[in-house]
Structure 1
């Protein structure tokens, strides 16, 4: 192992996947507690990072994704969704507006797909450049209510004035870091992006002041409990962003973009037929298991995780069947439908049954 960051993590007890992603640091319960009460440090280097440059970059993103970009200023952040022409979800991305570029943070394994997708829509006169900078950069998420205190301890006083939806460049002595308000979940925290050769010293400084390493397995625990949808599970050709609870990442008052007609029609006519919910299960079940009410299929389980309180899952349920509080059957498991913090919904989530 020659990667200094991986060496550092392995020495701290990390179990690495075949793709060198830290799965666990052998401290799962402590790390989850830190995310809720202290500060947990998550390695997100396996997430994709795409740099959009040149003069038309904002107009291009405005026309290709669900959020509004035309008036965005350097230092702003926003979530946006890549969708197909029929508004099926590809990925939820976070856009960091820089002085001369936009940096997109995209889900693991999605960078190449999105590079190819966007390249299809760049025409001869468009002044847009695409660069996959995943291998050149590193991303960490600091999650928990003590995150600001720890960043201040390593010299990032800028966080005291960093409002939600903002990011700033920060010099931590010999380290140059972009710090963004927001952990990628609804839990308090920050996202940090730096050059790959600065990843190991940044990780070390944060853990030295008290950040608790949290592995991918426990990040999945957090994101499922929060209800953040991911490609291959909640984001696919089977679902649109309204169903996935991503209303806050959609600008309904902007002009034409890929998938806009379908999304506008669903919103105008309240045509969202299914929605993403949490599920408290009595026994574990596998993703893909049908969700039923009185023997009638009303949805499908998409993700599941074991928690100290029992299995918890995410699944899509027909809007007319109900929402939070509904009792359902998931395979052999009894389940209660719960709201999820990450979801935003544009109109009444539960409509009267017919």
Structure 2
């Protein structure tokens, strides 16, 4: 069906939600919390609801007038958004393709985020909540899902069990970087969290490598779900106040299913920017309630501008910037997502040679700068080009210029001085995300 987006009139804020509106252009409004910090209004322009098989091919199509004669389908359809047992992401969404309806009481109206500097300070000393619903979520299902992802990315999925997780890197056959994915091993599927700019291409790439005999299903569940990150040293206190204490101190990627104020949510240790903090994954119907609960317990709201600054300060590489076909996975220093001991997988031969023959010639570093300079500027030492700047931010209070860049290993390392863009002085520094990476060897 198709939908028209618009702005909610004041009179609509208390209107009841009607899952089966009449066949009329004046049908009652439907509300969604994706993302949670503003309200989106939908008007149905078609009264046909389609049901699909797991293969995503149309199975049946009914109009509302036919549903009364099929009470079992009508009841199932009405129950779907509201009666999924946790985890909502681990349920088989593919049979019904209806968008989730959000109760009016769970909507979040437009609200101002804290200033970037307030949020960045809280990320260092307190706790912040960030809406990452624009990040991609890919559900990999089917009996062969473990072996499939084991062969298509760099991590060892065969050593993981339900409730665990890891980072894995999608690379080209020559180990050039595409994206890092945060993977959670659930009961019926593996959920992958990827960058918003790579979700579609990674989904298509995975589908391309499914053979006829493979029992694997790829489903983009981004629009049916929401995701928040809880970041900062006070994240554990927020979790304690919410009663989610049994994840505190657990390994990165560990996840469990909870109820927050009556709404089902999947919570995991770590997030896309750090092994510390937590991720919250839920249906759109639960997002408003969970967001309000985190804010009520003291989490400061962080907007997209501050999040990009925080990403650079933390040293988390991003597609199109640090992750391109110009750099390989070990130059990006993504060791935590790489297994050197598992069987054949895409990019393995190149990675094996790089490790065996010490072939990593450059690596990603943080660079503290004396002033701002353009992305792409050359990094030089003694007048010779030794690298390239890939990201930059003005930093907190626009007074602490900081960048990420690749530098040749023999030219400079931590603590050394470099020149960026011809005249800007830079100091090479370690950054938290890359400092967490544990360099591996064949031995």
Specify if TM > 0.5.
Answer: yes
Distance 1:239 1:10, change over 3 A: farther
Following TM superposition, by how much is the alpha carbon of 1:274 offset from its aligned partner in structure 2, in angstroms?
A: 0.9
Give the Å deviation of 1:299.
0.4
- Aligned 1:121-200 pairs, distance under 5 A: 121-160=209-248, 162-186=250-274, 188-200=276-288
CA distance 1:347–1:293, change in 2 (3 Å)? farther
Quote the Cα distance in structure 2 between the aligned partners of 1:49 and 1:115.
10
Give the 5 Å matches for 1:283-294. Answer: 283-294=371-382
| Contact 1:77 1:165 survives alignment (8 Å) | yes
Instruction: Write out aligned runs for 1:39-50 (5 A).
Output: 39-50=127-138
| Structure 1 position 293, deviation (Å) | 1.1
Structure 2 unaligned regions, length at least 5: 1-6, 9-31, 40-107
Once the two structures are TM-superposed, the CA of residue 346 in structure 1 deviates from its matched residue by 2.3
2:149 counterpart (26, 39, 61): 61
Is the deviation greater in 285-294 or in 183-192?
A: 183-192
Shift of 1:159: 3.0
Question: What is the DSSP-based 3-state SS (H/G/I as helix, E as strand, rest coil) of the residue aligned with 2:345?
Answer: coil
Q: Does 1:321 align with 2:411?
A: yes
Larger radius of gyration: 2
- 1:22-66 deviations in whole A, cap 9, x for unaligned? xxx242222112111111001100000000001000000000000
TM-score (norm. length: structure 2): 0.73
Q: Which aligned pairs between 1:241-256 and structure 2 lie closer than 5 A?
A: 241-256=329-344
Map Cα deviations across residues 76-97 of structure 1 (whole Å, 9 max, x no partner).
Answer: 0100000000110010001000
Which one scores higher on RCO, CA 8 angstroms, separation ≥ 6?
1
State the SS of the aligned residue for 2:433: coil
Instruction: Report whether the alignment pairs 1:12 with 2:102.
Output: no
How far apart, CA to CA, are the structure 1 residues paired with 2:109 and 2:374? 31
Offset of residue 151 of structure 1: 2.3
- 1:219-260 Cα shifts (integer Å, max 9, x gaps): 111111111101010000001110001011100011110010
User: Are residues 161 and 267 of structure 1, via their aligned partners in 2, closer, same or farther at CA, if it must alter by over 3 Å?
Assistant: closer
Tell me by how many angstroms 1:107 deviates.
0.8
- Residue equivalent to 1:18: none
- The CA distance in 1 between the partners of 2:38 and 2:274, in whole Å, is 31
Partner Cα separation in structure 1 for residue 135 and residue 192 of structure 2 = 10
What is the TM-score with the length of structure 1 in the denominator? 0.91
SS at match of 2:309: helix
Q: Quote the Cα distance in structure 1 between the aligned partners of 2:267 and 2:438.
A: 28
Number of aligned positions between the proteins: 337
Alignment CA distance shift 1:159-1:345 (3 Å): closer
Per mean C-alpha deviation after superposition, the further-off stretch among 50-59 and 150-159 is 150-159
Match of 1:94 among 182, 189, 194: 182
* In 2, Cα distance between equivalents of 1:345 and 1:302: 23
Secondary structure (helix, strand or coil) at the match of 1:11 reads coil
| 1:346/1:161 CA distance change after superposition, 3 Å | closer
Moved over 4 A (4+): none
1:325-340 to 2 correspondences below 5 Å: 325-331=415-421, 332-340=423-431
Q: Is the 8 A contact 1:148 1:159 kept in 2?
A: no
Q: CA RMSD in A?
A: 1.7
Distance in 2 between residues matched to 1:274 and 1:285, nearest whole Å: 21
**Is the 2:114–2:300 contact (alpha carbons within 8 Å) kept by the matching residues of 1?**
no
- Tell me the distance in 2 between the aligned counterparts of 1:85 and 1:221: 32
2:247 touches 2:254 (CA, 8 Å); kept in 1?
no
Partner of 1:312: 402
Contact persistence 1:156–1:171 (CA under 8 A): no
* Residue 139 of structure 2: aligned partner: 51
